[in-house]
Copies of this chain bind each other. A is one copy, B any other.
Amino acid sequence: MNAPTNLTKNQALVFDALTRAEGPMSAYTILDKLRDHGFRAPLQVYRALEKLLELGLVHRLESLNSFVACSHTTEACCRHHGTVAFAICESCGQVSEFHDHAIDDRLAHFARSKGFKAEKTTIELRGLCSACAG
């Protein structure tokens, strides 16, 4: 995916690092990758991430305390596909992002039935990808 042009320098650097990585990175790993570009403190990374998360260009993996670039290549990106879910391989670290309307529907149904207003939904599978499971 090409970065939008309206990113600031730090945001673009963080987004770039995540895009190149082709896998999840912790904020501190990102920091280390960007030291050569003038990054000195975690906050520089967290602030950029905060914006990128807002824009939907990056996702946070809660079960890993780390971050991935959104795997979508189109401008439309994830907002238009409902909730994002992740399958994370414990062995090779590969993350695949997917969407499932039926799951969205079930969660929406639950929320409606309980009067719960969901702001954010986390769905993460931890396990072994096909390559690593053999």
- Which of A2-10, A69-77, A96-104 touches B? A96-104
Task: Given A62-B62, A62-B124, A103-B107, answer yes or no on A96-B114 (Cβ-Cβ < 8 Å).
Answer: yes
A35 within 8 Å of B by Cβ? Answer: no
- Residues from chain B with a CB closer than 8 A to the CB of A79 are none
Judge whether A122 and B63 touch: CB under 8 Å: yes
Q: How large is the interface on A (under 10, 10 to 19, 20 to 34, 35 or more residues)?
A: 20 to 34
- Residues from chain B with a CB closer than 8 A to the CB of A120 are 125-127
**Residue of B62, B100, B111, B126 touching A119 (CB-CB under 8 A):** B126
Copies of this protein in the complex: 2
Q: List 22 A-B contacts (CB under 8 A).
A: A62-B122, A63-B122, A87-B114, A87-B116, A87-B118, A96-B116, A100-B107, A102-B102, A102-B106, A103-B103, A103-B106, A111-B127, A115-B129, A116-B127, A116-B130, A116-B133, A117-B128, A118-B126, A118-B127, A120-B126, A122-B122, A122-B123
